Amino acid sequence: MNGQGDELAGLVAQLREIEDRIVELTGGSVDAVVDRQGRPWLLSDAQQELRERSELQRRFSEQQTALLNALPAHIALLDARGKIIDANEAWRHFGASHGMVDPDSGVGSNYLELCDAAPADVVEAHETAAGIRAILAGEADSLSLEYPCHEPDRPRWFNLVAAPLRSHPQGGVVVMHIDITDRKLAEQDLQRAASLFRASNDGVLITDPDGVIRDVNPAYTRISGFGSEELVGQRASVHAGLNGPEVDHEIEQSLEARGHWSGELRDRRKNGDVYVQKMSVSVVTGEHGQVLNYIIVVTDITRIKAHQAELDRVAHHDALTGLPNRRLMTDRLEQALRYARRHGEALAVCYLDLDHFKPINDRCGHTTGDHVLIEVARRLEVGLRESDTISRIGGDEFVLLLPGIAGIGEVSQVLDRLLEALQKPLEVDGHTVSVSSSIGVALFPEDGEDADTLLRFADQAMYSAKASGRDRHLRFDSRTLRQSEARQSSLQSILEGLDQNQFILHYQPKVDLRDGSLVGVEALVRWQHPEHGLLLPAEFMDFVIGSDHEIRFGEYVLEMALQQLTHWQEQQLELQVSVNISGNELRQSGLAERITSSLARHGGIHPARLEIEVLETTAIKDISQVLLTLSLCREAGVQVSLDDFGTGYSSLTVFQRLPVDTLKIDQSFVRDMLQDSNDRSIVESVIHMARAFNRNVVAEGVETMEHARVLLKMGCFQVQGYGIAHPMEPDAMHGWLSEWRGRRSWEALTPR
Amino acid sequence: MAVMSEELVHLRLYVSRGSPNSRMAMRNIETIRQQYLGDRCRLEVIDLFEEPLRALEDGVMMTPMLLLVSSDPPVSIIGNLSDPTPLLQALEVAPDERTG
C-alpha cells in the first residue's frame, strides 16, 4: 500500500503543478480545461469559489425564509399550475387556526382549485383565481384586492396581493394576504368623520395651531357665503368690529384653561348681512399635549334669535295697536323713575280711558271698536313726543308716561291738546264715531314715589275725571284717595255683613183702596250694622252699585225674599213680594234663568207671587238687553213693575215696547201733588197712560189718607206709602194687617 | 456606433457557469457588445459542463473562451476578456473609435 501511496502523492503533486502552470500561462483568467476526449476539469480556484458561492446562497435562502416568516403577511408561493409549493409561518398559522386539517396548511394543494371550489357568491375567490391565472399567463403584472373575512367577535379585512415569481425558472406566483383590519377601521372612522363633516348642518372650520383655516365644510360656506377657496389659508378670527377685542381674548383664555370655548357671536356674511352664530371652539391635541388643530363649529341662530325677538315683541306689545303693553310700560316706568330720581326730574303718569266706548262695540261691532282703538293709538302717537311712552293696558285703557316735564302746567297743555285731537270725529267702517276720553294724572315725585302708587293714583284720578263729567283730565287729589279708601273699606264691611247675615228685609205693604185688601209687599233691604245700628239703603247701596259684589248682593236679597214668601205661604198669608233689581243685574244676561231656578228651589211658589221692580231710568238704558231679560222673566210668569215711573223720561214708543205689568208712580210726584198742580197733572197722565196701555198702576209716597182719596178719584187704586204703612219686619205683618183691617179707613174714601 | 463591417457578428462564449472568470467574461463580452456591436451581434453562451460535446466539436480546451464564429478563419480568445484589445483587433475595431 505504501508504494501506491507514494505514487498517488506524486500524481497529486503533479496535478497541482500542472494546474498552477495553466493558471500561470493564462494569467489566471480561466476556470476550466477540457481534455482531448472533451472531459472538462474545473480548476481548484474555481471550485473553491463555487463552494463559497453556494454557501452564500444557502445562507441567503435561510435569511429569506426567516424574513418571510417574520412578516405578518400570509405568504405562499405557487408554481406555474397554481400548486402551493411553499408558505411562510403566518400562512401556516392562519390555516391552522382556521380549521385547516393539513398541518402544512395547504402546501401541496392547488390554490387555484381551492379558489374555484368556493361558492359562486364568494366573488373575491373567483376574482383571485382569474387574477392569478392572468399573471401566470403573462397577461398581468400583479393582482391586488381587498376582501372582508369577519370573525364572529370582530371585523377583519385582508388585502390579497399576487405577483409573478420571476426568480423561479418555471414561473409561478407569490400570493400574500395582508391583514388590513386596522387600516380599514381607521378608514371607516375617517369616512364617518368626513361624512359628518360634509353632511353636518353646522358649519365646521378646521384650523392649524396658528389659526389658519385648513378645511371648511359645505355648511360653513353656506352660512358664511364664502367659498372654501376664499377661506382656506386665511386666519380664522372673530370679527373684532362686531364683537369687540375682548371676545378674542376671552376665547384665547378659555381655550388655554379648558380646551374649549362656546358662546354667541355676530358675524358678517359675504353679502354684508350680519348674522348671529352659536360658536364652539375645541382644541385637538397630540400625544404630548401639543396643539394639532382647532375645530370651530358654528350654528346659524339668526332665525332663532329673530324668533325670540318676535316672541319678546309679542310679549311686550299689544297685538291690536302695536303699542307697548302693561308689562313693557311697567318696565319703562321703572326705568323712567330711576332716571328721574338721578336727574331730579319730574314725570307724569296718565291713565286714559275712552268715554262710552262699550256702546260703540255694542252698536257697531267689535271690528269697528278695534279700528277706533287703532285710530286712538295713532292720534296719541301723533300728539306726544318720541320720548313719551304710550301703552295700551286694557280694552279701552291707555297709560301715558311723560318724562322730563316741567310741571303740571305743561302736562295740562299736552293733555288739553290730546283730548281735543282724540275728540275729533273719526270715520270707521262707514260709521262716524266720536269718542271723548277721561284722563287721570299723577306726578312724580309730588303725588307718589313709586310705580305702583303712581299708576294707582292716576287710575283713581281717571275715575274722578269720569265722575266729574268725563271728557277731561284731572290730576290726582289726595281727597279722592280718602274717598276711595272709604269706599273700599265700606265695601269690605258690606261683604262681611253679607257673610254674617247682617242684611235683612223690611216689607212695605201695598193695598187696594177699593176694599182695603193687601195686594203685596215691597221688599226693602236694611243693614243691621253691629256698630251703627239699622242702616237704610241710601247709606250703603251706593257702595254696592257698580262694585264687583252687586250681583251677589242682589241674589242675597232675592233669596231672603223668597224664603219669607215661603214662610208666609205656610201661614196662609197669600201675597205678592216685589224685589228691586239693579240696573247691572238687569243688564247681565241670565237674570231670568237665575230667578227661575231660585223659584224652583223654593218649590211651590207660584211665579206670579214674585214681582221684580225695575227703575225706569235703568230700564231705558241698553234697551235691547233689558227688553230681552224682562220678556224672559215674564215668560217665566214673574210680574214686572216699572219703578219710579215719570223720572226717566221714556218716550211713548219705548214705554209701549217695555214688557211690564205695572207702573209705579214716583213718590216725589205723589207726595207733592196736593200742593203742586204740575205734579198732580203728571200723576194724572201716568194713570191715564197706564189705563191706555192696559197696565196696572201703583202710587208710591202715599203719606196721608188725603193722598189716597185724590188718587182713588183719579182712578189709581193700588197705593203704597207711610199713610198706609211703614216698611216693617216680616213678623210684624200679621199684627199690622189686623190693625189695618180694624181701622177700615179706606171706607171713608168713597161715598157709599 | 463604431464604423465597422455591416455583417452580422456571431460570437460564441464557452463558460463554466458560476466560476469567477466565466462570470467576468460574460460581463465583459456584454459590455463590449453593447459598446461596439449593438444589435448586429449574435451571442451564444454555452456551459462547458452542460454541453461538453459541443465544446469538443469547437475545439475548446479551456473556459472562458470566446469564439468569433463569423470570422474566417475562426478566431478564439481565451480568458476573462478583462483586456478587450485582442477581441477588438480581431473585430477590426479601434478602441478609440468607440462611442458611448
DSSP B15-64: E-TTSHHHHHHHHHHHHHIIIIITTSEEEEEEETTT-HHHHHHTT--EES
User: Which of chain B's residues have a Cβ under 8 Å away from the Cβ of A32?
Assistant: 16, 19, 22, 48-49, 62-63
ipTM above 0.90, yes or no: no
Residue of A nearest to B22 (CA): A31
Residue of A nearest to B54 (CA): A38
Calculate the average pLDDT of chain B.
Answer: 82
Write out pLDDT tens, residues A239-297.
Answer: 545 677 778 788 888 888 888 898 888 888 889 888 888 999 899 888 888 888 999 99
Looking at the predicted structure, is the pLDDT value of residue A479 above 90? no
Q: Which of A485-499, A552-566, A674-688, B19-33 has the lowest mean pLDDT?
A: A485-499
Calculate the average pLDDT of chain A.
Answer: 87
Mutation choice for B interface testing from A23, A29, A52, A54 by most B CBs within 10 A: A29
Compute the half-sphere exposure of residue A624: CA atoms within 13 Å on the CB side of its CA.
Answer: 3
Asked if residue A390 lies in contact with residue A400, where contact means CB atoms within 8 angstroms, the answer is yes
Residue of A nearest to B80 (CA): A29
Residues 676-715 of A with CB under 8 A from B: none
User: Which of chain B's residues have a Cβ under 8 Å away from the Cβ of A39?
Assistant: 52
Write out pLDDT tens, residues A87-121.
Answer: 888 888 887 766 555 556 678 888 899 888 888 88
| Cβ-proximal residues to A119 (8 Å cutoff; 6+ apart), any chain | none
Cα dist from A658 to A324, A610, A632, A654, A662, whole Å: 45, 18, 12, 6, 11
Q: Please tell me if residue A101 touches chain B, with a CB cutoff of 8 Å.
A: no
- Phi and psi (nearest 5°) for A630? -65, -40
Q: Please give the pLDDT value at position A532.
A: 83
Binary contact (B53, A38; C-beta < 8 A): yes
Residues 20-59 of A with CB under 8 A from B: 22, 26-34, 37-40, 42, 45-46, 49-50, 53
Binary contact (B21, A38; C-beta < 8 A): no
Asked if residue A364 lies in contact with residue A428, where contact means CB atoms within 8 angstroms, the answer is yes
Q: Please give the pLDDT value at position A163.
A: 92
**Mean pLDDT computed over A38-43:** 84
Asked if residue A351 lies in contact with residue A329, where contact means CB atoms within 8 angstroms, the answer is no
Asked if residue B40 lies in contact with residue B3, where contact means CB atoms within 8 angstroms, the answer is no
Looking at the predicted structure, is the pLDDT value of residue A39 above 70? yes
What is the Cα–Cα distance from A42 to A188, expressed in whole angstroms?
64
Contacts across the A-B interface (CB distance below 8 Å):
74
What is the Cα–Cα distance from A16 to A340, expressed in whole angstroms?
132
Asked if residue B63 lies in contact with residue B6, where contact means CB atoms within 8 angstroms, the answer is no
Q: Please give the pLDDT value at position A649.
A: 59
What is the Cα–Cα distance from B92 to B75, expressed in whole angstroms?
12
User: Which of chain B's residues have a Cβ under 8 Å away from the Cβ of A21?
Assistant: none
Choose the closest CB to B19 out of A34, A38, A50: A50
Choose the closest CB to A30 out of B55, B63, B82: B63
DSSP H/E element including B77: strand B75-78
Q: How confident is the model at residue B2 (pLDDT cuts 50, 70, 90)?
A: very low
Amino acid at A570: E
Residue of A nearest to B64 (CA): A30
Binary contact (B53, A28; C-beta < 8 A): no
Looking at the predicted structure, is the pLDDT value of residue A221 above 50? yes
More confident residue, B99 or A719: A719
Tracing cell 211651590 back to the chain, one arrives at A604
Q: What DSSP character marks residue A719?
A: E
Choose the closest CB to A29 out of B21, B52, B61: B21
Binary contact (B20, A22; C-beta < 8 A): no
Specify the long-range contacts of residues A672-678, CB closer than 8 Å, at least 24 apart: A673/A707, A673/A710, A674/A706, A674/A707, A674/A710
Three-state SS at A145: strand
* A235-254 CB burial, b ≥16 within 10 A, e <16: ebebeeeebeeebeeebeee
Binary contact (A31, B21; C-beta < 8 A): yes
* A563-583 CB burial, b ≥16 within 10 A, e <16: ebbbebbeeeeebbbbbbbbb
Asked if residue A175 lies in contact with residue A168, where contact means CB atoms within 8 angstroms, the answer is no
Looking at the predicted structure, is the pLDDT value of residue A657 above 90? no
Beta bridge pairs of residue A611 = A578, A639
Q: How confident is the model at residue B3 (pLDDT cuts 50, 70, 90)?
A: very low
Q: How confident is the model at residue B94 (pLDDT cuts 50, 70, 90)?
A: low
CA distance A52 to chain B (A): 11
| Cβ-proximal residues to A492 (8 Å cutoff; 6+ apart), any chain | none
Write out pLDDT tens, residues A509-529.
Answer: 999 999 889 999 999 999 998
Compute the half-sphere exposure of residue A483: CA atoms within 13 Å on the CB side of its CA.
Answer: 13
Kindly report the three-state secondary structure assignment for every residue of A231-253: HCCCECCCCHHHHCHHHHHHHHH
Looking at the predicted structure, is the pLDDT value of residue A635 above 70? yes
Cα dist from A643 to A523, A565, A630, A640, A682, whole Å: 13, 21, 14, 9, 15
Write out pLDDT tens, residues A49-73.
Answer: 888 888 988 998 889 888 888 888 8
Binary contact (B52, A34; C-beta < 8 A): yes
User: Which of chain B's residues have a Cβ under 8 Å away from the Cβ of A50?
Assistant: 18-19
Q: Sort strands A696-699 and A84-87 into parallel, antiparallel or unpaired.
A: unpaired
In chain B, which residues touch A (CB < 8 A)?
A: 15-16, 18-22, 48-49, 52-53, 55-56, 60-65, 78-80, 82
Choose the closest CB to B20 out of A22, A31, A34: A31
Write out pLDDT tens, residues A465-478.
Answer: 888 878 899 998 87
Kindly report the pTM of this predicted structure: 0.40
User: Which of chain B's residues have a Cβ under 8 Å away from the Cβ of A42?
Assistant: 16, 19, 49
Binary contact (B19, A22; C-beta < 8 A): no
CA distance A18 to chain B (A): 14
Amino acid at A557: V
**Mean pLDDT computed over A554-569:** 92
Q: Please give the pLDDT value at position B66.
A: 92
- Phi and psi (nearest 5°) for A418? -65, -45
Binary contact (A31, B64; C-beta < 8 A): yes
Asked if residue A736 lies in contact with residue A728, where contact means CB atoms within 8 angstroms, the answer is yes
Q: How confident is the model at residue A332 (pLDDT cuts 50, 70, 90)?
A: very high
User: Which of chain A's residues have a Cβ under 8 Å away from the Cβ of B52?
Assistant: 34, 38-40
Binary contact (A31, B56; C-beta < 8 A): no
Other C-beta atoms within 10 Å of A294: how many? 23
- Three cell numbers at A8? 498517488
Tracing cell 214688557 back to the chain, one arrives at A659
Choose the closest CB to B63 out of A31, A39, A45: A31
- Three cell numbers at A613? 221692580
